């Protein structure tokens, strides 16, 4: 998995980047092999005004699956990162489960048609 952490309008220190990387590792530890790339963009929407203005955009790209994009806003950037990563992980797990179910149905249909043809 290729991980890209970007920041726009936000002074992101290296310790913050490491925190994001650790959180990604803990959230995606079971599915890391199925993910091509994960792009996380952190931005401060309202500038120094305060309020729920820390925005996190997560893009997950995987083989033979559509791109998953989640955007989350919170007043704290770590809370926004945690929320966005959990949401994208849940969506990705649902899509993987659905893909496995479809593949199982197709395999079952092929086996059934082979038996009928014989």
Q: What string of pLDDT tens digits covers the 118 residues of the chain?
A: 999 998 876 677 788 888 999 999 999 999 999 999 999 999 888 776 666 688 999 999 998 899 999 999 998 888 999 999 999 999 999 999 988 877 777 777 766 666 666 5
**How many structural domains are present in the chain?**
1
Structural domain containing residue 26 = 2-117
User: Could you write out the DSSP letters of every residue in the chain?
Assistant: -EEEEEEESS---HHHHHHHHHHHHHHSTTTGGGEEEEEEEEEESSGGG-SS-EEEEEEEEETTS--EEEEEEESSHHHHHHHHHHHHHHHHHHHHHHHHHHHHHHHHHHHHHHHHH-
Supply the pLDDT for residue 39: 97
Supply the pLDDT for residue 40: 96
CATH at 32:
3.30.160.100
Whole-model pTM: value is 0.82
């Amino acid at each position: 998995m290729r991980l890209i952490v970007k920041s726009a309008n936000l002074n992101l220190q290296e310790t913050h980047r490491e925190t994001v990387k650790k959180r990604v590792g803990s959230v995606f530890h079971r599915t890391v092999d199925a993910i091509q790339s994960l792009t996380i963009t952190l931005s401060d929407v309202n500038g120094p005004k305060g309020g729920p203005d820390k925005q996190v955009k997560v893009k997950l790209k995987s083989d033979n699956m559509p791109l998953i994009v989640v955007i989350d806003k919170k007043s704290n950037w770590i809370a926004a990162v945690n929320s966005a990563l959990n949401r994208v992980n849940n969506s990705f797990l649902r899509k993987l489960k659905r893909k496995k179910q479809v593949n199982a149905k197709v395999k079952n249909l092929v086996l059934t048609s082979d038996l009928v043809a014989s």
